[in-house]
Structure 1
Amino acid sequence: MAAAKGLNGSRPAAAKTRAAIAKRLAAQASGMTTATIAEMDAKHDWFRDLDAEHRSWITLVAGAGINGFVSWFADAEPDSPAPSEVFGSAPRELARRISLHQTVELVRTTIDVVETQIDEVMPRADRAILHTAIVAYSREVAFAAAEIYARAAELRGTWDARLEASVVDAVLRGETDDAVLSRASTLGWTSTQGVVVVVGGAPDPAAPNTVAAELEAIRDQAAIAGLDMLGAVQSDRMIVVLGGSALQQTEWTLGVVGRFADSFADGPVVVGPPVDHLIETGVSAREALSGYRAVAGWPEAPRPVSVHDLLPERALNGDGHARRALARELYDPLRDAGGGLLETLVVFLDQGSSVEAAARTLFVHANTVRYRLRRVHEVTGYSPTHPREAYALRLSLTLGRLLSRRVRAEETSTE
């Protein structure tokens, strides 16, 4: 692009004319920089709020822009200005401390001041040529600024993704210490009440752009629900950590996860139990991973599914926590409740879930059996008349007996 040919298609000035104008312009560059900083201070609150160091960056950039314009104009056939020519004095600091909107204001103010100064301090014969040139130059500077911020955003996105993956990895390994909490805070994590881990298949580990897009889709849904979110892919699994006090309500959590379940690959999506704080997330992660490994034993499981609903499969798959949960949360309360609840449940299940057959075996009225079965539901939260829940109750009977026998044997040995 020939610099002297502006947006209005005017003919380029002769090289000697341009050189002479550039010399006169260079003599005014320092004053233009001073006028620009004064105008920034007068027009922009954010500039006045900066400390001395940050204001010096703005001065350097404004001066580099004006000097760059002088050099660019003096060149008979200039190239587009490189970002380093204008922003090279403090590119990283500028991108971190000064927003893109503020940078646009900086460029606009600088151009306005230069145009005003051209009319005030430059000879009348130079003004039309310089006005045309500054319009072309400002457009190139704007593109340079956009390039810097786009590159910074790309680098920041890559860094954030790696940092996020390291936090998720620490969560899965149960190593959530103060350093991990600090990294999570850097990523925007603010929740102090309620955390759950969600595990599902990665959409396509070989297509990182697809994975990133799906994680961002999940992040958007989490934000709509008022939740913090961290996510990463590990092997063929995608791990999502959600934070928010409402996650203590399992049904609500399943509803939220259901909104973004399609972001996972086809197959099960397992939701871990809520814990109180990110530092305890290893508990939710362990159970979610256990459920994800065991869910194949229940092909008809809902999507998403809570790990609590997978207790039978987890217990059969070797999860000691699940075995103890079935015994302590179902068998022990029934045993301790008395009133014939445990006996009635055993007979009812042994009789093919027939109320009448159970009543005959127990020598009680059928309504007594029905009442006791309702009490079983109240005590355990599981209904003996529901096939899936009856399956969990049946398994809890076996596990409860085995664990009770083991406890008695250990007590006897210690005596």
Structure 2
Amino acid sequence: MAATSRGISKSLLPPPKTRASIAKRLSAVTGQLATAAVTAMEARHEWYSQLDARHRSWITLVAQAGIDGFVRWFADPDPSRPSTTEVFGSAPRELARRISLFQTVELVRTTIEVVEEQIDEVMPKNDRPFLHAAIVQYSREVAFSAAEIYARAAELRGAWDARLEALVVDAVLRGETDETVLSRASTLGWKTTAAVAVVVGPGPTAEATPTIESIRHEAAIAGIDLLGAVQGDRLVLLLGGDRLTEPDHPLVVVRRFVDEFGPGPVVVGPAVEHLMEASVSTRAALSGFRAAVAWPEAPRPVSAQDLLPERALSGDGHARRSLARDLYGPLAASGVDLIDTLVAFFDQGSSVEGAARTLFVHANTVRYRLRRVGELTGYSPTDARDAYALRLALTLGRLLPPAETA
């Protein structure tokens, strides 16, 4: 096997002295090669002609630098892997933002094709095989260099987006959502002007960025905007979409990616009308996340509304007032019969017949009143979990001032 340097097989290269002579002849026509390459770009690529004069001049500079770099590399007495940093370093960074990676590949391909064609026209026949073999290796390194530049730019962009996203999520959690936050969210692709829900769960066991991107993909399939960030041991997500106002739809969406969270409860806050009001959903989700330890059998994900009893017992004033206002309030407003029936039902071990005997009414009357309780509150006294919330609501409703239960 022929010995090789890092650049090209030495068996394909002439002796250094011959190579220097070829390079000298080639350097005499580099201007002609660059001109032919730019002319071909204008003819083959419509988007190139739409660039302004400044950007076209930068591309000409890159093409000339690439050809000059090839000549220097080929003339090196002991050529190693071509250094192409000087090729793309000859143009400002703005050029990478102005033309895409696909367009850069088109330009590199066009330049190589034109140079190979010109070699067959302007160089002696004996020089051509060596130059063709060498340009294949050099053009490969140019392509790798271009890919590296765009990959680095993508990484920097991704890191900046992640920091900006974390700032938006943090501002929402702190209840500081203003026009600046809305503008930043829009920059990150947030389009929702309707319902918003906040999700809080354990941080992922894997890398945060790939996890959030995986969740974002699932949310996009469900037609939901998403912003997310890891804060300490928590993963916080902002969901946005018209359908979040539908009953249980936020839970349906979160089930698509709930396994991306770490072990532990995943709590979904109530949907609110706008990102500016997301602090309401945030408060409920965080409170539920802290209190969920008291209900280890809770479904995953679980609504913050379903954790009202645990939240109330853990000191959440909003949860206490919600139980008193939304459960006890309607019962009190309907008259004493429903409350008395509910108390008797619970005191008699959830026995309809026992409650009927205590109240001196027919059992069907008790059943009717219990159904009425369910209609007014959304909680069924015959369901163990709902009964737990109703018992707590009775106590809180009696404890809190009437103004807080109205």
TM-score class, shorter: over 0.9
Equivalences for residues 69-218 of structure 1 within 5 A: 69-90=70-91, 92-204=93-205, 210-218=207-215
Distance 2:195 2:404 in 1: 34
Q: Paired residue for 1:411?
A: none
Q: Paired residue for 2:321?
A: 324
Could you say if the C-alpha distance between residues 49 and 381 of structure 1 is closer, same or farther in structure 2, counting changes exceeding 3 Å? farther
Q: 2:270 is aligned with what amino acid? A: P
Q: 1:269 is aligned with what amino acid? A: V
In 1, are the aligned partners of 2:199 and 2:266 still within 8 Å (CA)?
yes
Which stretch shifts more, 284-293 or 346-355?
346-355
Task: Check if 1:333 corresponds to 2:330.
Answer: yes
* SS of residue in 1 equivalent to 2:78: coil
Q: 2:141 is aligned with what amino acid? A: E
In 2, are the aligned partners of 1:290 and 1:319 still within 8 Å (CA)?
yes
Q: 1:398 is aligned with what amino acid? A: T
In 1, are the aligned partners of 2:5 and 2:81 still within 8 Å (CA)?
no
- Displacement of 1:108 in angstroms is 0.6
Could you say if the C-alpha distance between residues 257 and 86 of structure 1 is closer, same or farther in structure 2, counting changes exceeding 3 Å? same
Distance 2:81 2:7 in 1: 13
Q: Paired residue for 1:296?
A: 293
Task: Check if 1:223 corresponds to 2:224.
Answer: no
Q: Paired residue for 1:413?
A: none
Corresponding pairs, count = 402
- Give CA deviations for 1:301-324 in whole Å, capped at 9, x if unaligned: 111100000111111111111111
In 2, are the aligned partners of 1:312 and 1:395 still within 8 Å (CA)?
yes
* SS of residue in 2 equivalent to 1:301: coil
- Displacement of 1:229 in angstroms is 1.6
- Displacement of 1:250 in angstroms is 4.1
Distance 2:7 2:370 in 1: 92
- Displacement of 1:293 in angstroms is 0.7
Task: Check if 1:393 corresponds to 2:390.
Answer: yes
* SS of residue in 1 equivalent to 2:329: helix
Could you say if the C-alpha distance between residues 406 and 71 of structure 1 is closer, same or farther in structure 2, counting changes exceeding 3 Å? same
Q: Paired residue for 1:59?
A: 60
- Displacement of 1:191 in angstroms is 1.8
Which stretch shifts more, 304-313 or 67-76?
67-76
- Displacement of 1:124 in angstroms is 2.5
Q: 1:293 is aligned with what amino acid? A: R
- Displacement of 1:101 in angstroms is 1.8
In 1, are the aligned partners of 2:12 and 2:133 still within 8 Å (CA)?
no
Distance 2:364 2:68 in 1: 96
* SS of residue in 2 equivalent to 1:231: strand
Distance 1:40 1:337 in 2: 81
Which stretch shifts more, 304-313 or 320-329?
320-329
* SS of residue in 2 equivalent to 1:193: coil
Distance 1:91 1:283 in 2: 47
In 1, are the aligned partners of 2:12 and 2:130 still within 8 Å (CA)?
no
Q: Paired residue for 1:313?
A: 310
Distance 1:407 1:77 in 2: 87
Q: 1:246 is aligned with what amino acid? A: R
Q: 2:121 is aligned with what amino acid? A: E
Gaps of 5+ in 2: none
* SS of residue in 2 equivalent to 1:239: strand
Q: 1:249 is aligned with what amino acid? A: E
* SS of residue in 2 equivalent to 1:125: coil
Could you say if the C-alpha distance between residues 62 and 337 of structure 1 is closer, same or farther in structure 2, counting changes exceeding 3 Å? farther
Q: Paired residue for 1:24?
A: 25
Distance 2:48 2:341 in 1: 78
Q: Paired residue for 1:12?
A: 13
Identity percentage over the alignment?
Answer: 67
Distance 2:108 2:348 in 1: 84
Task: Check if 1:242 corresponds to 2:239.
Answer: yes
TM-score by length of 2: 0.92
Q: 1:323 is aligned with what amino acid? A: R
Distance 2:289 2:394 in 1: 24
- Displacement of 1:189 in angstroms is 1.8
Could you say if the C-alpha distance between residues 103 and 326 of structure 1 is closer, same or farther in structure 2, counting changes exceeding 3 Å? same
- Give CA deviations for 1:55-89 in whole Å, capped at 9, x if unaligned: 33322222221121122122122232334211102
Q: 1:333 is aligned with what amino acid? A: P
- Displacement of 1:13 in angstroms is 1.5
Distance 1:39 1:337 in 2: 84
| Match for residue 274 of structure 1 among 256, 260, 271 | 271
Could you say if the C-alpha distance between residues 256 and 4 of structure 1 is closer, same or farther in structure 2, counting changes exceeding 3 Å? closer
Distance 2:14 2:25 in 1: 15
* SS of residue in 2 equivalent to 1:267: coil
Q: 1:387 is aligned with what amino acid? A: A
Distance 1:407 1:215 in 2: 40
- Give CA deviations for 1:101-135 in whole Å, capped at 9, x if unaligned: 22211111110111111122223232222111111
Task: Check if 1:46 corresponds to 2:47.
Answer: yes
* SS of residue in 1 equivalent to 2:25: helix
Q: Paired residue for 2:253?
A: 256
Q: Paired residue for 2:359?
A: 362
- Displacement of 1:405 in angstroms is 4.4
